[in-house]
Structure 1
């Protein structure tokens, strides 16, 4: 705490200071070096002055390590804000901000700068609204329900149950046991399996759809005394419904029995990247019933690949999860059990195997505290909600809390960054991204659309035809 008396009118000005680092004064009373952490603390009565822009440039100067520049440090005009590449991706990160604060554009800018710096990357963006497809042009491969195949047999037991089992409590346990035995029997029918005795319900071995139905009918005869036959009938009908519904053909189709996980992972993780280091998984067309399972499966396969890959041949992966609070809710639920488990698993273990998790959310208060606590770097744009602000401040490092109070008054594209990915906590005005590189996240203009209203019955009819054809 420092105390200053204005000589003009005797006004006392009190400033609360937070110590974040120290440097060395040169011969002309200017800073020549700076490091994080304090050894020599100032004493009462020591003079205080504002840092010059050249001194701020010294304070925020990046080390020799690889880094990207994303904007200008506040309140300077030209001091660039460095983000340390390896520290950012090696410890996970989170980008939070209220809707309309520039969050998606900031994500796109960071990814552009990263692949500009190092082109041989492996980035997967889980895009729930189809916003990012236009942002990266020929640098990205876009996947959706029309060209992405997530074969049904790649799901583990828990993911199968999330799709096919609707019961809860003890009844769910019974149905899960039924599904486990049937699934194991179906996988063991694979004549290419080298050792059927080691196959479990979770083993990623292909099986035929007909074999699963047959295994269920067989188990119905064996376990009829324990569970009513109607349980097997219900499971069988549910499975048949998914395999017969064209909305789910990207996942549940008999022909996917011959699909390859190697092909799926190679396409998804960009191995090789073929000049397209970014995979965008457009989840906008994925039916609500299976979207959580799709994310859980892709996340699990990504981490399992990294675990089994030899260290010297690892291809580090960045998994960016937009609207992360959907899949990693603070309050767990039955619907998000699998996806939350897999993403939290990456948050806890991923960095050991070269899998970085980037969480993007407009509601940090609704985000899993387990996952958020594992993020070594947090970038916060404007947050309007007080609960979100409080949750953010609790997650920030000690040195950033003094500037976090401004998070509710930040302008669009302005943010506070703290953690291991930056030399020091800082407030940054993010660079303007060219329109062609921005996600399609602009809100519709009601005044413009209503001022030139073109909606008519022909338009409505065309919408209904597309709607019916999709289903």
Structure 2
């Protein structure tokens, strides 16, 4: 039944109008709930349709009208009797009341001054009352959709309350979280044109949602100098997400300030005007320095150290730095060969100050190496807070953190601590300085509860996980906890909004976003479809995988084409002849392979191999000579075996001498024991 058509006079309780008659009577009441008894006459469902779960109803208490939310219903006996009266029991939750003020004007308040009495009459909710409940009574409102109960009534939010205190959008995959966030951002920018928005976009979806208002920063356009990273963030890059080695971190803590003092490239850097003030520079100070200077300091320290026990960690640190510099995936950090103090240009580009008509920055994180995403998120959130802090609130910033459970997980042992610290600082102190946090997640149960508790407005979309529902239930006001029971069954694009930006918790449907500004993935990438072949350009994909410049792309062979079927089966090619045994020479071997020109056309037949005398059985020694030999052995040192002169292979080998020594040893071991014992 369409009740939104009843306006003003039609809202009167005329007995002749269907749907306006009494719905039931209160038969039980507590501090937060009440039970209503109603009768469906002769099995008719016309009255029962007005009791659907999630609808608001009105209870007459004198001049006041108590507003209640239907949360459950059942009949007094099992089953439904057609053609007979059915007694229904409806459980409702008390939300607030509509009462007249001193001037006689009716207004809505969340508190209840007069509770329903037993037998109080229950009516359907008037359209005018429904509008009064959700009316913000302020000009700083924006329409984001319509009410689920009455699609003719708009759903409003208070934009200053939304932005001055943080908000969250939660819901499972595919329910429309990204579209809802894009809609909220468009409404916020319309209400506050001075707002600057930074979106941490891990799926590259928001670039299409702001085609005229956003600057897209990806791996091709990102320029985030390494010297802007703090020590913990820089070590996260060097160690690629693995635990850092304390000795190497201590070395960086000592050497980075030295490298910053050695930098003389900017005369405008106030911290470098007095090189004697060593305490003014630390490893966390955002001052430029050269990696070459840092490596030179490491080499100098290696040369000064005495003893090998202290050198390996410095050598390992040097290798890590060189590896990071040469990694093409980290080009956004080490792209510039000439170091300049570009912190002002970097802040202006990322945070859109002044903005040039594009106040939104979509920071696409999908192309950034996974082991440094936490460091990039940390530096962006930290800089956002510091900009708002040191500008005394002159710059209003909104940081949208998509997939927030990745950066601030509920388990304190997971995640990157500087990232958690930076986001937590915005959540706890950001509203004092004009920086707001927007949290978007599909798993609120895996999000740090402290972050969610700081969000004053929550848009809860469909959630199927019981743990996630419990998290939202703990954050919603106690007077509307039954509203969460709808979370597992609401439709796509539908949400339950509660908090500072709405008057009372409301079940609403987000308005549809124009197709032109609909978020979609990979909108910032150039198409890789080959129109001629109607296929995928694999060379372009490989180029992106390697993160290298097209000019430096190695020449790749053409893609293999299917070979035509052979006319007849061919015999397999004969196996190649084994290579000729190389000659051995006493001259030093060269490192190159000989060509055919180095060999004569014809070689003489090799001589038959002569037996090695060392392998022949020893002849018996005469008695006289044996005694002389024993007498001489007492005066002479023990004989030693001298190997043959070093033989090298003509092709640069060196294994043949070892083979000869091995054969000599095996020959001695195989000689009869009697030949080695004096007879």
Q: Does 1:467 align with 2:545?
A: yes
- The partner residue of 1:277 within 355, 359, 367 is 359
Report SS of the residue matched to 2:120: coil
Quote the residue 1:18 is aligned against: 94
- In structure 1, the gaps of 5 or more residues are 443-453
Quote the residue 2:158 is aligned against: 84
Q: Does 1:146 align with 2:220?
A: yes
- How does the TM-score come out when normalised to structure 1? 0.89
- The partner residue of 1:340 within 420, 430, 447 is 420
Within-5 A mapping of 1:48-67: 48-67=122-141
Task: Evaluate the alpha carbon distance shift between residue 130 and residue 4 of structure 1 in structure 2; reply closer, same or farther with a 3 A threshold.
Answer: closer
1-side partners of 2:357 and 2:195: how far apart? 9
Report SS of the residue matched to 2:398: strand
2-side partners of 1:45 and 1:320: how far apart? 50
Task: Evaluate the alpha carbon distance shift between residue 227 and residue 174 of structure 1 in structure 2; reply closer, same or farther with a 3 A threshold.
Answer: farther
- The partner residue of 2:143 within 29, 54, 69 is 69
Quote the residue 1:249 is aligned against: 331
User: How far did residue 316 of structure 1 move?
Assistant: 1.0
Report SS of the residue matched to 2:184: helix
Within-5 A mapping of 1:290-309: 290-309=372-391
2-side partners of 1:464 and 1:163: how far apart? 24
Report SS of the residue matched to 1:137: coil
User: How far did residue 105 of structure 1 move?
Assistant: 0.6
User: How far did residue 401 of structure 1 move?
Assistant: 1.8
1-side partners of 2:111 and 2:521: how far apart? 40
- The partner residue of 1:174 within 232, 247, 251 is 247
User: How far did residue 459 of structure 1 move?
Assistant: 4.3
User: How far did residue 148 of structure 1 move?
Assistant: 2.3
User: How far did residue 337 of structure 1 move?
Assistant: 2.0
Within-5 A mapping of 1:10-409: 11-19=87-95, 21-24=96-99, 32-165=106-239, 172-191=245-264, 192=269, 193-195=272-274, 196-197=277-278, 198-220=280-302, 228-255=310-337, 257-311=339-393, 314-333=394-413, 335-409=415-489
Report SS of the residue matched to 1:86: helix
Report SS of the residue matched to 2:495: strand
Quote the residue 1:451 is aligned against: none
Q: Does 1:2 align with 2:84?
A: no
Quote the residue 2:13 is aligned against: none
1-side partners of 2:154 and 2:439: how far apart? 24
User: Aligned-residue CA RMSD in angstroms?
Assistant: 2.6
Task: Evaluate the alpha carbon distance shift between residue 282 and residue 362 of structure 1 in structure 2; reply closer, same or farther with a 3 A threshold.
Answer: same
Q: Which has the higher helix share?
A: 1
Report SS of the residue matched to 1:200: coil
**2:461–2:494: 8 Å Cα contact kept in structure 1?**
yes
- How does the TM-score come out when normalised to structure 2? 0.63
User: How far did residue 226 of structure 1 move?
Assistant: 11
User: How far did residue 145 of structure 1 move?
Assistant: 1.8
**1:18–1:402: 8 Å Cα contact kept in structure 2?**
no
Task: Evaluate the alpha carbon distance shift between residue 256 and residue 368 of structure 1 in structure 2; reply closer, same or farther with a 3 A threshold.
Answer: farther
User: How far did residue 5 of structure 1 move?
Assistant: 3.3
- In structure 2, the gaps of 5 or more residues are 1-32, 42-84, 523-532, 550-679
1-side partners of 2:118 and 2:252: how far apart? 71
Task: Evaluate the alpha carbon distance shift between residue 395 and residue 309 of structure 1 in structure 2; reply closer, same or farther with a 3 A threshold.
Answer: same
**1:306–1:353: 8 Å Cα contact kept in structure 2?**
yes
Quote the residue 2:502 is aligned against: 422
Quote the residue 1:448 is aligned against: none
1-side partners of 2:305 and 2:378: how far apart? 31
Count residues in correspondence.
Answer: 452
Moved more, 196-205 or 350-359: 196-205
Task: Evaluate the alpha carbon distance shift between residue 166 and residue 3 of structure 1 in structure 2; reply closer, same or farther with a 3 A threshold.
Answer: closer
User: How far did residue 254 of structure 1 move?
Assistant: 4.6
Q: Which has the larger radius of gyration?
A: 2
- The Cα offsets for residues 204-260 of structure 1, whole Å up to 9 and x where unpaired, read as 111111122123334446677796322111111111111122221111235363141
**2:170–2:459: 8 Å Cα contact kept in structure 1?**
yes
**1:140–1:279: 8 Å Cα contact kept in structure 2?**
yes
